[in-house]
Amino acid sequence: MLGSYFKLAFRNLWKNRMFSLINVVSLSLCLTGVIALLLVVSKLVNFDDFHEHGDRLFIVNQGDKSRKPSSGIAYPALDQLKRDFPEVEAGSRSLQWDSYIFSNGEDSWSIVPEFVDPDFLRVFTYPLKYGDASTALTDKNSIILSDQMALRMFGDRNPVGKTLQMGDSSLVTISGVLEKIPGASSFNYAALMPMQWLYESGSGLKEAGNWENAFTPTYILLREGVGKDVFEAKFPGFVQTHFSNQEMQHRMNLSQYRDLIRIYVPQYRQYVWGLQAHRLLFIDHRYGQSHKSDSCSGDGPSPGSRRTKSTGLF
C-alpha cells in the first residue's frame, strides 16, 4: 500500500513537472538561505560567550555634552577606578599603537601588538598554551604570542624564555603563548605586550594619556554581587572629583562586554531581519501552494485569511 502512495505522488509530480520543479528549486533556495542565516546569527549571538566571567565583564564608556558615551575613556581613569571603588575586582586597558618589526636571527615579522595591563588575563578568558598567566605580563619587556605567530616563528617548540629583537634596540622575552582563540571572539591578537612598555617607550602615550583625552578602551571585572546599575550610580561623583573641566559635562556608563557585537556591528540587525524575511517568504510559498489547492477544489480563502496565516506565526 505504501508503494502505491509513492507511485501516485510520482505521477502527480511528473504530470506537473514544470510547476513541481519551480516549487522544489525555490523551496530549496529558501531553506538554504535560512540555514545560512541561522548559522551567521547563531555565531553573532554567541560572540564572546566563552569568557568565564562574562556576566561581570564590562567596558567603560565616556562621553560629554557633545557626544554620547562610547568606548574610549581617559587613560588614567582605570587606575583611579580601582583605587576609589573596591567593587572593581580587576581591570585592563587595551591599545594598538603601531606596527613593530620583531626579529629572531635573520627572520623578521611585522606585528601590531595589543598593549594591555597585567590584569588582562584575569579579566578575559584567554588560556595560555605555554607560560604562567599570573606573571606573563608583569615584566614590561615581555611578550605573549598567539599560537599562530608562535608556530610561524618557532614551529611546534615551546618558545617561552626566548628573546626577540624589537625594532633597533629593544629586547623582549617571550613569556607565554595563547591557546587558539575561538572564532566567535571580538578580537584576534597576534601578540600581547604590557602597557607599561608603551607608556615608557617615548611613543607619546605619556603626553597624551591625561584626563582631557578620551581614547583608551578600558574593561573592568566587577566583583560578584555588584549590579551594573548600582555601580553606574557612582560615576557622577567620580566625574565631579577627577575631571577638571566641568563645562564639558563628562558622563560615564558601562556596557556588557558580550553585548558589544550588537552595538558596534550594524549588520547584526540586518542578519536578523534577513532571517525573518526568509521566514515570510517560506510562509508565502506554503500559502501559495495551499491557496492553489483551495482554488482547485472550489474553496477559496476568505478575505483577510492571508494576513491571518502570515502573522499568526509571529
pLDDT in tens, the chain (314 residues): 677 877 787 787 787 878 778 888 888 887 787 777 666 666 666 668 889 999 999 999 999 988 899 889 999 999 999 999 999 999 999 999 999 999 998 899 999 999 999 999 999 999 999 999 999 999 999 999 999 999 999 999 999 999 999 988 789 999 999 999 887 788 889 999 999 999 999 899 999 999 999 999 999 999 999 999 999 999 999 999 999 888 889 999 999 998 876 665 555 555 555 555 555 555 555 545 545 444 444 444 444 433 333 333 33
Residue-level pLDDT at 307: 35
Predicted pLDDT of residue 182: 80
Within a domain: 4: no
For residues 146 and 185, membership in a common domain is answered with yes
Query: For residue 20, what pLDDT is reported?
Result: 77
Closest CA to 118 of 89, 140, 85, 88: 140
Confidence at residue 111, expressed as pLDDT on a 0 to 100 scale: 96
CB atoms under 10 Å from CB of 83, counted, come to: 9
- What is the C-alpha separation between 182 and 258, in angstroms, rounded? 14
pLDDT of residue 43: 62
Indicate if 230 and 125 belong to the same structural domain: yes
Q: Do 252 and 301 reside in the same domain of the chain?
A: no
- Helix, strand, or coil (residue 142): strand
- In contact, 41 and 278? CB cutoff 8 Å: no
Amino acid (1-letter code) at residue 300: G
Residue the block writes with cell 578575559: 124
Q: Provide the 10 A C-beta neighbour count for residue 67.
A: 10
Q: Does a structural domain hold residue 249?
A: yes
Domain enclosing residue 223, as ranges: 54-261
Q: Are 271 and 169 within one domain?
A: no
Model pLDDT, residue 121 = 96
- Same domain flag for 91 and 199: yes
Last residue of a domain, one of 226, 244, 261: 261
Is the residue at 106 inside a domain? yes
| Residues 76, 178 within the same domain | yes
Q: How many domains does one find in the chain? A: 2
Look at residue 161 and tell me if it is in a domain: yes
Asked if 150 and 200 sit in the same domain, the reply is yes
Do 251 and 277 share a domain, yes or no?
A: no
Query: Taking the CA atoms of the chain, what radius of gyration do you get in angstroms?
Result: 28
Please tell me whether residues 60 and 143 are part of one structural domain: yes
> What does the pLDDT read at residue 263?
63
DSSP 62-102: EEETTEEEEE-EETTHHHHHHHH-TTEEEEEEEEE---EEE
Determine, yes or no, domain membership for 296. Answer: yes
**pLDDT at position 312:** 34
pLDDT at 272: 57
Is position 5 within any domain? no
Quick one: 104 and 181 in the same domain? Answer: yes
- Does residue 174 sit within a domain? yes
The reported pLDDT for the residue numbered 282 is: 52
* Cβ atoms of 66 and 234 closer than 8 Å: no
* Cβ(165)–Cβ(104) below 8 Å: yes
**Beta-bridge partner residues of 165:** 103, 171
Same domain for 156 and 91: yes
* 113 lies in the same domain as 129: yes
- For residue 120, being part of any structural domain is answered with yes
